Structure 1
Amino acid sequence: MVGNKAVVYVGPGEVEVRDIGFPDLVLRDGPGVNPLNVGRKCEHGVILKVVTTNICGSDQHMVRGRTTAPSGLVLGHEITGEIIEVGRDVEFLKKGDLVSVPFNIACGRCRTCKKGDTHVCLNVNPDRPGSAYGYVDMGGWVGGQSEYVMVPYADFQLLKFPDKDQAMEKIRDLTMLSDIFPTGYHGAVSAGVTTGSTVYVAGAGPVGLAAAHSAQLLGASVVIVGDLNEERLAQARSFGCETVNLSLHDNLGEQIEQILGVPEVDCAIDCVGFEAHGHGKNHTEAPATVLNSIMEVTSVGGRLGIPGLYVTGDPGAIDDDAKIGSLKIRIGLGWAKAHTFVTGQTPVMRYHYQLMKSILSGKAQIAKAVNATVISLDEAPQGYNYFDKGAARKFVLDPHGLVK
């Protein structure tokens, strides 16, 4: 019997690599699986041999103990793999196909999926619209930081790469299509980035870097990235961004004025989320900081893209309001400036085909932008540790040693 090693959340600050057993085309009971999803048959699904799977900042929120994730949850929602088993009801995919898996799980049949809002599918999570692999309160679909994983609704969801050899040559870039690249791109599109735009990106983690690169692809004239981590800011400068070190400066508008001549930008993107800190040398956690600061520096009538994660349950929050996701946001300022806000999961399928073509043509250099760093599955706990300490890297797990 073939085993299946996977990265499992144990408790705050701790992950382990364990054997979880080979998957089949049924959602079995396990940590975090919604009881109403237990036993769900997935003949519309496939089994993948995982080629690459990435560590995400959203995973890190769980590992820090900042969500209600249960011990034993199998992590990982950024998955690229080769199909090794095909369900009875799969018609258009076959064994051997190399595919990218959107992190959103979507049935393709409900009202929202038919509208293209695959990030809020109505049929895959009994708790709320929307679902994802290996994530708390998302229905319990088993994560993909593993050697093998089951993926449902395969015909609808999976993005097949047209040439396997070409794809493996570009795999460090293509692995970003499952989440980070579409998420950054969605943030930029939601913010209204277009030719000549001036853009502020809050956060120089992997999603922030992906948003910054996306803004460049969309024609922005100047992209400014703000963060508290100088190593990550250096990574943003490596592909042409301006930067602001917010651990040294507490007035964002003044720093933007030094770059642009005016203290505002056309649009802004929040790539930080609910674990935001205040600005300045003595910064502490202040979860509404980014939302309030981007309203302050975005011009009247501007748009705010908010792909950064905000949750409804944060046991480690600084106060009782923040524990349920209630933050002190200056909504009056946003109203007065007629801002448009776009929040929520990214509908990956809206973007991944175009972004794949951009990668294969050489136009997009997302692996370079986010400093993709390949490690083995067994090195995942170390990767989580480095990432938590602010490493300017996007860790890509290679469970079978297939990446050159």
Structure 2
Amino acid sequence: MAGNRAVAYAGAGNVEVKDIDYPELILRDGPGVHPLNIGRKCEHGVIVKVMTTNICGSDQHMVRGRTTAPEGLILGHEITGEVIETGRDVEFIKKGDMVSVPFNIACGRCQSCKEQNTHVCLNVNPDRPGSAYGYVDMGGWVGGQSEYVMVPYADFQLLTFPDKEQAMDKILDLTMLSDIFPTGFHGAYSAGVKPGSSVYVAGAGPVGLAAAHSAQLLGASVVIVGDLISERLEQARSFGCETINLRDHDNLGEQIEQILGVPEVDSAIDAVGFEASGHGQDAEEAPATVLNSIMDVTRAAGQLGIPGLYVTEDPGAADKAAMQGSLSIRFGLGWAKGHTFVTGQTPVMQYHRSLLNSILHGKANIAKAVNATLISLDEAPLGYNEFDSGAAKKFVIDPHNMFTK
């Protein structure tokens, strides 16, 4: 039987590449696996040879020690690969298919899935609705920053690429379909971006850059990106965004007014989440900063897309309230302005097929927007460190050295 190597969480600030078991069509006990999921049979699943798997900002929250993730948890929820084994109950997915794996794990059978709310599937996580590969409190499904991974509910979930040779040529774009591109698009779409819109995106990390590119695809007239890191803002400017350096400016509305002539935008997107920082030279962590600032600069009756991650438990928070996910949000301001808020994980399957077509037909250039950068599996720890330092890159792991030779 083939071996398997994977990236594992090794305590706050550390990951390691280690040997793990080759996947089976059953969920075995291991770090983070919910007791009620142990022994769960997955004849509806497949084994995927991972061709690319991306490092996500959500992974970094765990690696920084800001969640209750156990050491040894196998990381990775952005997975693209080739099907090499199918379960007895798989009917339509075939060996040799090249596929994108949505980061949401969804059964396709519950009420949520039937309503296309695959981000809150009711049958895959005994703790609460919703699940993902390699993530804390998500049921314990083994992550895909590995050479091989098991994917359940294959017929329902997997997005098959129509032409393998074409997919190989566009792999750096297509690898973004498992999470980051749909997540960025969801942020823009749920913020009500439409032709002619003015849009503010908080955060120029990969999700923020994906949201900015998505806002452009939806027809926004002006996309403004704010961040504290100059290198990331330069990346946003590289594909036509206006930028605001929040390290140099603590009044966001004034900066928006200099660009638009008014201090408000039609739509705003939070691509930062709970590890947000205040604005200005001496800014410190302030987890409600982004939520409060986007309410402040979004016009009355505007919409706020919030794909940034917020958690129910943050052991590294500065105060007891934030440790429980309770933040000092000016909800009255949002209420008074009649804002619409959309939060939660992205239901990837609502978007990934349309975004696939946009890539294949040259309308979307997501790899360029997020500065996709290939690394080997052994380079993953260095990738995590560089990403954590604020590099303007989206690291794409190539476990079998298919693209990095």
**TM-score, normalised to structure 1's length?**
1.00
Partner of 1:143: 143
**Contact (CA 8 Å) 1:168, 1:403: kept in 2 or not?**
no
Aligned equivalent of 1:127? 127
Task: Return the alpha-carbon distance in structure 2 between the equivalents of residues 109 and 335 of structure 1.
Answer: 36
Given residue 212 of structure 1, which amino acid in structure 2 is its aligned partner?
A
Alignment of 1:341-360 (within 5 A): 341-360=341-360
Structure 2 residue aligned with 1:233: 233
- 2:105 partner amino acid: I
The answer to whether residue 288 in structure 2 is matched with residue 294 in structure 1 is: no
Q: CA deviation at 1:21?
A: 1.3
Report the alpha carbon displacement of residue 403 of structure 1 after superposing the two structures with TM.
2.0
* C-alpha separation in 1, matches of 2:242 and 2:99: 35
Partner residue in 2 for 1:199: 199
The residue identity in structure 2 corresponding to 1:166 is: Q
Once the two structures are TM-superposed, the CA of residue 209 in structure 1 deviates from its matched residue by: 0.0
AA aligned opposite 1:223: V
Structure 1: segments with no counterpart, 5+ residues: none
Offset of residue 177 of structure 1? 0.1
Match status 1:378 vs 2:352 = no
Q: Deviations over 1:142-177 (max 9, x none)?
A: 000000000000000000000000000000000000
Q: Distance in 2 between matches of 1:249 and 1:318?
A: 24
SS across alignment from 1:402: coil
Paired with 1:302 and 1:293, the residues of 2 have a C-alpha distance of: 14
Pairs within 5 Å for 1:2-401: 2-401=2-401
Using the alignment, how far apart are the partners of 2:283 and 2:392 within structure 1? Answer: 20
> Secondary structure at the residue paired with 1:236?
helix
Give the aligned residue type for 2:63. V
- In 2, the alpha carbon distance for the partners of 1:218 and 1:290 equals 23
Aligned pair count? Answer: 404
CA distance in 2, matches of 1:4, 1:359: 31
| SS in structure 1 of the partner of residue 29 of structure 2 | coil
Secondary structure of the corresponding residue to residue 11 of structure 1: coil
Name the aligned partner's letter for residue 26 of structure 1.
Answer: I
Query: Is the CA contact 1:171–1:403 (under 8 Å) kept in the aligned structure 2?
Result: no
Contact 1:177 1:356 in 2 (8 A): yes
**Equivalent residues of 1:6, 1:145 under 8 A apart:** yes
With the length of structure 2 as denominator, give the TM-score of the two structures.
0.99
**Cα distance per residue 1:346-374 (max 9 Å; x no partner):** 00000000000000001100000000000
The 4+ residue runs of structure 1 with deviation greater than 2 A are none
1:285-342 C-alpha deviation (Å, 9 max, x unpaired): 0000000000000000000000000000100001000001000000000000000000
Name the amino acid aligned to 2:49: K
The Cα shift of 1:2 comes to: 1.3
Compute the RMSD of aligned alpha carbons. Answer: 0.4
Provide the rounded CA distance (Å) in 2 between the counterparts of 1:303 and 1:384.
Answer: 33
Distance in 2 (CA, whole Å) between partners of 1:3 and 1:64 is 29
- C-alpha separation in 2, matches of 1:111 and 1:2: 38
Distance 2:303 2:388 in 1: 30
Q: CA deviation at 1:401?
A: 1.3
What does the per-residue CA deviation read over 1:67-87, in whole Å, with 9 as the maximum and x for residues that have no partner? 000000000000001000000
Distance in 2, Cα, partners of 1:129 & 1:94 = 29
State the percentage of identical aligned residues. 80
Letter in 1 for 2:42: C
Cα distance between partner residues in 2 of 1:247 and 1:77? 31
The one-letter code of the counterpart of 1:143 is G
Provide Cα deviations, 1:28-49, integer angstroms capped at 9, x if missing partner: 0000000000000000000000
Q: Name the aligned partner's letter for residue 207 of structure 1.
A: V
Alpha-carbon separation, structure 1, partners of 2:235 and 2:136: 30
Structure 1 CA distance, aligned partners of 2:103 and 2:330?
31
Segments of structure 2 that go 5 or more residues without pairing to the other structure are none
State the distance in 1 between where 2:147 and 2:318 align.
37
Amino acid at match of 2:55: I
How big is the shift at 1:18? 0.3
Cα distance, 1:213 vs. partner? 0.0
